[in-house]
Structure 1
Amino acid sequence: MKRKHVITSESNVYTLGTIGAHRVVTTKLPSVGRTREAMTAAGNTTTRLLGIFQKVEYVFLVGVGGGVPHYTDYSRHVRLGDVVVSTPAPDLNDKYVYIFCEKAERNEKGGWDYEVKPYKPTNFLLQDIALRLTNTHAPWNMYVNEGLQRLRGVPGRWEAPEDATDRLSVDVGDGVFIEVSHPAPQGGQRRGRVHCAPVAGGRAVAGAGEARAAFAAHARVRAYDCELDAVLDSVVGNRKDCFVSIRGISDYRDGSRGKEWQAHAALAAAAVMKTIIVAMDPPTD
């Protein structure tokens, strides 16, 4: 992003600039956590930004998340350093892009009952662009390299860690994990891929365990984040019709554990965001 200037309003800092042909404004959400107070603060930050910058048309929620691995099929396997863009599941009638699970309980039949809040934009422009780009040689890797150059000297390890640090484990219950091999790639498949699928949140399902895997299969989820429902409530409440969540995968749980891949995963997510914005038609005003 070509930065123009920074605006400080109360406790929030807004950076204004351009990406491609589009004017953008960014802010950092308060530290998201497992308390509703933290999420209320994040929702209030979003409401304040959208109130100050009322001409915002497209909303990008960009950060890290926990990936949902697949243990046998590499085409459905999400690895550390990959990026998940929130898009509807093609085989489900309800075209949500983000789903928040408030409650997950076992039922009498041995399955699960869920209490959820689904979110879907009125306009799927950003999702359509992402789907189109995943079928092309999109330049997000170029933007990752560009970011690495700009981040020289900035604290943090922005380069991708060694492959050996990407360890995959199976939860066998009672807090016991067994390390297994990643499924083998086929043909030209490689690391650093972009997946288009729903993203989910909610402490009832985001942690490790059977509920997490069951809900991911139920909702076709490929990434979990740290509960952004309050943020999306603000986005929808402010009548922003076009929004997307972009999650760089930093771990295989809920996005809050494991620091080694976080910096690179955040950079990868930002690179995919830039790719989508650059691919958008120029504004007409």
Structure 2
Amino acid sequence: MVAYSSLVALTPIKQSANHNVVVVHRNRNALLCREEKRSMKFFLRDDVELQVGRSVVHNFFKQLMAGFPKDYVSFMMRVLKLMQHEFAEIQRIDMEFKLVSEEEQVVIPDAAQYDSGSEVEEVTVGHVQEVLEHAFPNGITIPVMADALRCTEEEVFKFLKELETLGVARSVENEWLRVDTRNVDAVARPPHGPSDQPTVAIISCLFIEKQAVDALIDDRSTVHKKEEVYLFQYKSGGDSNVYTMGRIGQHRVVATKLALIGDTREATTSAGSITTRLLGNFQNIEHVFVVGVGGAVPHFTDAKRHARLGDVIISASQPDAYIFSHDLIIDRKTEAFSGFAVRRWNPVDHVIEQIVANGGDELVSKWNDATAQGVHRLHEASTDIDFSMPPPDTDVLALPVGGGNVVVVPHPNQATRKGAEVHLGTVGALANFKRHTEDNEEDSVGVLRAKFAEEFGVRAIDAGFDSVIAAISGSRIDSWAMIRGIADYQHGMSRASKLWQAHAAARAAAMVRVIVERLPSPQ
């Protein structure tokens, strides 16, 4: 039987390790639109503890889904081989196969939603706006936009004029710039007195992340700084920085947005230099927050280790706060992958991690209040983006398994979850490993991402902020943290993430506010 699409469901683990159930749905016939349910009940050895049992079933499930078997025989053989050679803790598996009724069928997502979205099938005004927002605070030329979107310059110009009419973009000399009139202050001046000097720096990457952060800064003013001179009037060419300054609690803060992020030479240089310039211009900085969206690394059986969309993960040295894989280790003789070359980053001062660890229910309550306040302020400002929480049923844990198939897994905390949650753990990222990937690039990258997360205990994956953390460390800032609002289950930047990105950004920004309010008084 060849499957056209697939759905896999794993029920929440029960208190007895003998009652771990995996339910597999597969589209039996695309023309009939029928789904087949395959139920797997695991019986573990008596000497296997509950926590170990969770890990065993989790790893069994991941390996079964890696290159998902496309017919009955392959599926059964895969299960038997895994039991025989790798999972001695499993004593027996009972399986039941049956067709589900129409009422029980589940809509299976399109696998294309879960890639990085590098191919644009049909360019829209939204794509052009997104390119402008990624480049902000820098301007960008029409030829560069056309090349990035793989379309004609005429198409780009048409959409730019449409955005200009809406007040979203404007032309400056030979470049186009995303307009942020809501925050720009023509009379803002750089701080002079010691009491005006910021002690907290907040760095974001996406435009929606910048908006979410700015909304939670009190008494704010925003300036466009270029070539060491504060300007209200943007000029084209070269690097530009936008600084939002104000107050959170007893701390003066300064926030900025990176123009580029990733592992290309241009992006690495830009992100690192913007961070270094920020910390050089404001030399009283004691704490730095790198804030924005990310992707959760799902856990299929342990609710405590499973983060969901709208949750926030704060970097903590467990064992490393941030870990970046800059290359793969390849065996010279066999040319086979053998590991990851990584850089590990940890703050010297763990005050941020301790605030979150000791915050308890009160911190979560304040975080929910700050989120509501931030979303209200953003909508009051007539932003064209909805920062509200999307419907809960859109939080689908969908895992591409190759061949255009998608595995959908119920969350292990589906029945017990009361609301968005806060997590501490390792945040990580990988460089672009295209030269090592197979023909199906997205499947291959997904496998590497899963191996990376498993090996280093990564809880969230982001777009890659290695050069930013290097600049923070090089500037001798002892206290820093990554704050990641969860937008998908990949890296925060997939097509599927677009629905939750804005709310995840608002969640991350709200967590920064709550933590800053609890930081020690400025020295």
Q: Does TM, normalized by the shorter one, top 0.5?
A: yes
Q: Give the structure 1 partner of residue 504 of structure 2.
A: 265
Percentage of identical aligned residues: 40
Hey, what does 1:170 align to over in structure 2? 399
For 1:190 and 1:34, how far apart are their aligned partners in 2? 38
TM-superposed CA distance for 1:254, in Å, is 1.4
Please tell me the residue identity of whatever aligns with 2:488: D
Report if the CA contact (8 A) 2:315-2:353 is conserved. Answer: yes
The whole-number CA distance in structure 2 between the counterparts of 1:36 and 1:69 is: 31
Mapped partners of 2:350, 2:508: distance in 1 = 19
Counterpart residue identity of residue 242, structure 1 = S
The match for 2:206 is none
CA deviations over 1:125-179 (Å, ceiling 9, x no partner): 111112112x232110000010121011212110110112111123434553222
Query: What's the counterpart of residue 196 of structure 1?
Result: 424
CA deviation vs aligned residue, 1:14-64 (integer Å, no higher than 9, x gap): 111110011101101113245231122111110111110011110000000
- 1:143-154 alignment to 2 at 5 Å? 143-152=370-379, 153-154=382-383
* Cα distance change on mapping 1:203 and 1:190 into 2, 3 Å: farther
Letter of the 1:137 counterpart:
E
SS of the equivalent of 2:515 reads: helix
- Offset, 1:105: 4.6
The secondary structure found in structure 2 opposite 1:80 is coil
- Runs of at least 5 residues in structure 2 that lack an aligned partner in the other structure: 1-216, 227-239, 434-441
Equivalent residue in structure 2 for 1:230, among 460, 464, 467: 467
Q: Residues 112-261 of structure 1: matches in 2 within 5 Å? A: 112-133=338-359, 135-138=360-363, 139-152=366-379, 153-174=382-403, 176-185=405-414, 187=416, 189-203=417-431, 209-257=446-494, 258-261=497-500
Q: For residues 232 and 269 of structure 1, what CA distance do their matches in structure 2 show? A: 18
Q: Which amino acid aligns with 1:124?
A: H
Change beyond 3 A, Cα 1:111–1:38: closer
Alignment-mate amino acid for residue 514 of structure 2: T
Report how far residue 7 of structure 1 moved: 2.9
State the alpha-carbon separation in 2 of the partners of residues 260 and 163 from structure 1.
11
Listed one character per residue, the Cα deviations across residues 181-230 of structure 1 (whole Å, up to 9, x for unaligned) are: 2223465x43311110010011358x752222222122111111111001
Number of corresponding residues: 276
> In structure 2, do the counterparts of structure 1 residues 123 and 178 end up closer, same or farther at CA, with 3 Å as the change threshold?
same
Q: 1:74 corresponds to which letter in structure 2?
A: A
What letter matches 1:21 in structure 2? Q
Confirm or deny: 8 A CA contact 2:300 2:306 kept in the other structure: yes
Distance in 2 between the 1:111 and 1:37 partners? Answer: 27
Q: TM-score, normalised by structure 2?
A: 0.50
Deviations 1:226-245 (A, max 9, x none): 11001111101111111100
Partner of 1:260: helix, strand, or coil? helix
Preserved CA contact (<8 Å) 1:104 1:204: no
Q: TM-score, normalised by structure 1?
A: 0.90
**Structure 1 residues 160 and 48: CA distance shift in structure 2, 3 A:** same
Q: Is the 8 A contact 1:99 1:201 kept in 2?
A: yes
Partner SS state of residue 5, structure 1: strand
Q: CA RMSD in A?
A: 2.1
Tell me which of 211, 225, 237 is aligned to 1:9: 225
Q: Partner of 2:44 in structure 1?
A: none
Corresponding residue for residue 92 of structure 1: none
What residue is the counterpart of 2:514 in the other structure?
A: 275
Amino acid at match of 1:31: L
Q: Whole-Å Cα distance in 2 between the matches of residues 268 and 184 of structure 1?
A: 20
Which structure has more helix as a fraction of its residues?
A: 2
